């Protein structure tokens, strides 16, 4: 199994355990999916090289971002969202997610309110970001093999496999 999959699964498990008032914890949520609130949606957003310990694994600094959603019509919704962001910061303190390939605790932890997009204007939103050092070992693709796809690039009409007269 991929370390990224294992890490995200561990984060989900520990947040769900440590923050019982959050009724929906999800990694990489699907667009358009229904979400029960309060919710904490999160995922890794970028990676950079980390401090190599010389053990043959790839050291990575992963930046994670979480989004806390509380329905805006709740009593003191802004305070509820801020409290949940504070709880998330507490969960992150000295957190290795019970995984041996996580090589250090989160750093550069930052929480702030966010202006909701038009699709999410019914929520009060806070984001919590952090950087987590970990290592990647041998690569494992967790999905079944699929046949290769193809890509057709047409620079100018008539130059490629499709000419204007072919399009109807």
pLDDT tens column, 41-96 = 999 999 999 999 888 899 999 999 999 999 999 999 999 999 999 999 999 999 99
pLDDT tens digit sequence for 144-167 = 777 777 776 666 665 555 665 666
User: Bigger pLDDT: 107 or 116?
Assistant: 107
pTM over 0.85? The answer is: no
Phi first, then psi: give them for residue 91, nearest 5 degrees: -60, -40
Q: What's the rounded Cα separation, in Å, for the pair 8 and 26?
A: 9
Q: What is the end-to-end Cα distance of the chain in Å, rounded?
A: 47
Domains of the chain, each with CATH number or no CATH: 3-140 (3.30.2000.10)
Banded pLDDT at 139 (limits 50, 70, 90): low
């Amino acid at each position: 199994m991929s370390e990224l999959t294992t890490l995200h699964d561990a984060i989900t498990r520990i947040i769900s355990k440590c923050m019982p008032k959050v009724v929906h914890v999800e990694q990489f949520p699907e667009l358009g999916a229904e979400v029960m609130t309060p919710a904490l949606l999160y995922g890794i957003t970028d990676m950079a090289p980390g401090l190599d310990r010389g053990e043959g694994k790839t050291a990575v600094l992963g930046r994670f971002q979480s989004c806390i959603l509380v329905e805006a019509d709740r009593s003191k919704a802004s305070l509820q969202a801020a409290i949940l962001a504070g709880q998330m910061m507490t969960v992150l303190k000295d957190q290795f997610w019970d995984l041996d390939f996580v090589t250090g605790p989160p750093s550069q932890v930052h929480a702030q309110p966010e202006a909701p997009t038009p699709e999410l204007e019914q929520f009060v939103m806070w984001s919590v970001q952090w950087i987590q050092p970990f290592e990647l070992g041998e690569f494992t693709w967790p999905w079944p093999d699929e046949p290769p796809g193809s890509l057709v690039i047409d620079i100018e009409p008539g130059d490629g496999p499709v000419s204007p007269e072919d399009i109807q």
